[in-house]
Structure 1
Amino acid sequence: MLRMMAGVGGALMLTAGLAQAQDGNALLGMSWDEIVETARGGEVNVFMWGGADNINAYVSDYVGGLLEEDYDIALNRVPLTDTAEAVNIVLGEVEAGAAAGAVDMIWINGENFRTMKQADLAWCGYVDKLPNAALVNFDNPAIANDFGTPVDGCEVPWSRVQFAFAHDTARTPEPPRAIPELLAWAAANPGRFTYPAPPDFTGAAFVRHVFTHVAGGADALVGPFDQAKFDEVAERTWDILNELEPHLWREGRTYPTSITQLQQMFANQEVDLFFTYDPAEVGTAVVNGIFPETARSYGLSDGTLANTNYMVIPVNAANKAAALVLQNLLLSGEAQLEKAQPEIWGAATVIEPDRASEKVQAGFAALERHPSVVSIEELGQAALPELQADWTSAIEDGWIANVGN
């Protein structure tokens, strides 16, 4: 990480001419061909969660290879354990008056995007410049809103995901298929279940599932934050999770710190259930020999959370032209199809395939789902909307104060 950051730091050493060329308003006045020529021969520094080898390889090898071959642009992937790290870098640079920052793009959604948008840290108004934006249905509420925050042309969608659980059919043939069943199952099978401690993203999502169950469903929590409603639901939620704690792995004295650790625990048979915000991860783990072939992902009868993730360009990005070229590439039918391949990632696309070329349409039609991965159609029948960021941050902070401590 430090070695990669040292290389990225070179982006700060811009000549006056390059800094002017990367001015956002100047770029918006250019044609697409002019933007591409401005970007050619440069670099783009992408800050993103680095916990999945297959995703890292897709970005560095496939996307980076195309970017280098077609545009002579070097892609520098900077791995993060928490997206907030990149947001804080941008915030510090902007507060210090750094006009040419080290961060050109961030893989983001939810509270981190809301923070950037509210603090005017996100570059907005450029989406119409991207030719491949025509492949996206920006009228779709699931794309137009990021955890309840209107996107407003300040970020570009990249993938869609929905939370799913996983079990090994050889060890746990009948897993719990609703939150109440899961809580009862964990108490009846002490030590065989746990979840990563928030602020881990996936662990916090599990806590939101319990919170939503206690509230009586997602409809009770949709909309702006309601302190009275939060207090009512939170008290019962913390009671449930504290009562669950002695039945968790290691009697709840400690929690996994990341979804990567939980994945390894499931692989080592330390726990019997796994969950992820990317069901395709289960198929990839089977292909890579991490999970047994008998592993299967599944949804819950009372629903699981679903969301879209995005790419955002900071307002002080030093290489905005290259970032635009990269975003356009990420939205291409070919790149979205490659990302959807089960052996690559298996990620759900954000484009409308019927707007892409006939070859891309045929590719999507021919996709074969890995047998360990629950179908998007099955999951989608019980998809829950993510809560607005005020809710998610309050739930996360509340868990840390009332359960984690």
Structure 2
Amino acid sequence: MKKICLFIMSVLCLVIFSSCSNEMSTISQSPDVLKNMDWSEIEQESKDTTVRIYMWGGDEGINRYIDEWVAPRMKEQYDLNLDRIAMDTPEQLKKLMNERKANQMKGNMDIIWINGENFKNAKENELLYGPFSNQLPNVQEFVDKEALDVTYDFGTKVDGFEAPWGKVQFVFQYDESKVENPPKTYKELLDWVKENPGKFTYPDANDFTGNAFLRQLFYESVGDVQKILDKGYDEQFASENSGMMWDYLNEIEPFLWREGQTYPNDLNELDRLYSEGEVWMTMGYNEARAEKFIDKGIFPKTTKSFVLESGSIGNTHFLAIPFNSPNKQGAMVAINYLLSPEAQLTKLDSAFWGDNIALDPGALSQEDQEKLREIDRGDSVLPADTLKKYIKPEIHAEYVTWLKENWVNEVVQTK
């Protein structure tokens, strides 16, 4: 009988200890407690745990970067296991939505790669943990926290619910054997188009790149991108501030390829025109995009890039932590490492990904700035400090549709 009593007491103690342990784990990961923890405590609590990062898995170079470069170093430096899991973002957000409705506070995602409309929906429906990003030492030290492309994600305020991981930027490409001095402003571009009839065009506004070209011109028409961000999506505001844009597009139209009677359907068609020498400029939403075409002999070796001084749109992508991540401490440690100069400079190397850094180049040490300069992204790619100087954030996604519809009314149908 005595042995049975001792056994029952042992089981009860185990249950109580387990319960307390679970409670302590839950408490330590609550926003208020984590917010007040020292970074060293967060690192300590993450040791010998697993972090599951859910991300798009369609690029071999990105996958190798995570699996073969990041994961081993995180294990070695932080005793943290990193598991990469390929995902379909809308499906995972739907899953998170169902878990939120069911008040399921322990999920299976620790980090989610996200931006744009997906972030907007996740933030509005309280699917994310945070704010957390300002607790990360590498955000404090290396990220320009005032930059609009960091504080806004497609017009939605980030408010610390995600941390920037990388970015691409809209640039123009040109053949320097035919264009000696590329334009620096929209006025200079207007003059160049008129002086070189038929040698410039842009894709239809239904195309992603053609629409991005219009969005940049919309910024110019409004005069200050901050005004657009402050307004959010506002059709009346857009109508009242887009006159300069429509006048500009109609003024250059007769001097475009085929006198503006038709436009390339998409960027692929514009790139073909450029590769065949019919036009002398192309464009795209990736500052390093020309390199692969040059290497394959599609673009001339004399291809270079430029941005206009009024700015070029940058698309920043981010990392966030789901509201019910079972390992929030580990997620924060992992994201902080992904924002280290070491990890960011390796990510920039085209041997893996070639994705631009999310860090402020000026905040890097002299040694890391030298490493940044030594990374050869190709002769057609603008320097990191130039890209940083002129980057502008994306605006509310609904402006994409507004521009598509109004471009037809204001430009195409006025022929």
Answer whether TM exceeds 0.5 for this pair.
yes
- Contact persistence 2:197–2:255 (CA under 8 A): no
Distance between the aligned counterparts of 1:188 and 1:86, measured in 2? 49
Partner residue, 1:105: 111
- Contact persistence 2:203–2:265 (CA under 8 A): yes
Partner residue, 1:34: 44
Aligned residue among 101, 125, 131 for 1:119: 125
Matches within 5 A, 1:334-345: 334-341=342-349, 344=352, 345=354
Q: Residues 224 and 132 (structure 1 numbering): CA distance in 2 closer, same or farther, change over 3 Å?
A: same
Aligned residue among 290, 300, 312 for 2:308: 300
Segment drifting more, 70-79 vs 298-307: 70-79
Aligned residue among 153, 156, 159 for 1:152: 159
Deviation at 1:327, TM superposition (A): 0.5
3-state SS of the aligned residue for 2:322? Answer: coil
Distance between the aligned counterparts of 2:91 and 2:197, measured in 1? 39
Deviation at 1:151, TM superposition (A): 3.3
Structure 1 counterpart of 2:301, which letter?
E
Q: Residues 228 and 353 (structure 1 numbering): CA distance in 2 closer, same or farther, change over 3 Å?
A: closer
Q: Residues 217 and 130 (structure 1 numbering): CA distance in 2 closer, same or farther, change over 3 Å?
A: closer
Partner residue, 2:290: 282
TM-score, length of structure 1 as denominator length: 0.69
Partner residue, 1:140: 146
Q: Residues 311 and 219 (structure 1 numbering): CA distance in 2 closer, same or farther, change over 3 Å?
A: closer
Q: Residues 122 and 263 (structure 1 numbering): CA distance in 2 closer, same or farther, change over 3 Å?
A: farther
TM-score, length of structure 2 as denominator length: 0.68
CA offsets, 1:228-282, max 9 Å, x none? 32122357756876995996799658733xx7x5797478648754333431333
Q: Residues 133 and 398 (structure 1 numbering): CA distance in 2 closer, same or farther, change over 3 Å?
A: closer
Structure 2 counterpart of 1:78, which letter?
A
Deviation at 1:298, TM superposition (A): 0.8
Matches within 5 A, 1:6-405: 24-25=29-30, 28=34, 31-37=41-47, 39=49, 42-48=50-56, 50=58, 54-55=61-62, 57-67=64-74, 71=79, 73-78=81-86, 87-88=93-94, 90-95=96-101, 97-101=103-107, 103-127=109-133, 130-137=136-143, 139-142=145-148, 145-147=151-153, 149-170=156-177, 178-179=185-186, 181=189, 185=193, 188-189=197-198, 193-194=202-203, 197=206, 200=208, 202-216=209-223, 218=225, 221=228, 223-225=230-232, 226-234=234-242, 237=245, 255-256=265-266, 261=268, 265=272, 269=276, 273-283=281-291, 286=294, 291-306=299-314, 308-341=316-349, 344=352, 345=354, 347-350=356-359, 360=368, 362-364=370-372, 366-367=374-375, 370-380=378-388, 383=390, 385-386=392-393, 389=395, 392-403=396-407
Q: Residues 33 and 238 (structure 1 numbering): CA distance in 2 closer, same or farther, change over 3 Å?
A: same
Distance between the aligned counterparts of 1:252 and 1:86, measured in 2? 40
Q: What is the aligned-residue identity percentage?
A: 25
Q: Residues 253 and 133 (structure 1 numbering): CA distance in 2 closer, same or farther, change over 3 Å?
A: closer
CA RMSD, Structure 1 to Structure 2 (Å): 4.7
- Contact persistence 1:169–1:295 (CA under 8 A): yes
Partner residue, 1:5: none
- Contact persistence 2:202–2:210 (CA under 8 A): no
Q: Residues 78 and 179 (structure 1 numbering): CA distance in 2 closer, same or farther, change over 3 Å?
A: farther
Partner residue, 1:13: none
3-state SS of the aligned residue for 2:128? Answer: coil
Distance between the aligned counterparts of 1:399 and 1:319, measured in 2? 42
Q: Residues 176 and 58 (structure 1 numbering): CA distance in 2 closer, same or farther, change over 3 Å?
A: farther
3-state SS of the aligned residue for 2:304? Answer: strand
CA offsets, 1:273-306, max 9 Å, x none? 4333431333465457664432211112443234
Gaps of 5+ in 1: 1-15
Distance between the aligned counterparts of 2:165 and 2:226, measured in 1? 27
Partner residue, 1:4: none
Distance between the aligned counterparts of 1:179 and 1:79, measured in 2? 41
Between the two proteins, the alignment pairs up a number of residues equal to 375
Return the index of the structure with the highest Cα Rg. 2
- Contact persistence 1:287–1:343 (CA under 8 A): no
Partner residue, 1:3: none
CA offsets, 1:193-240, max 9 Å, x none? 425735x4x554322112223335546645324543212235775687
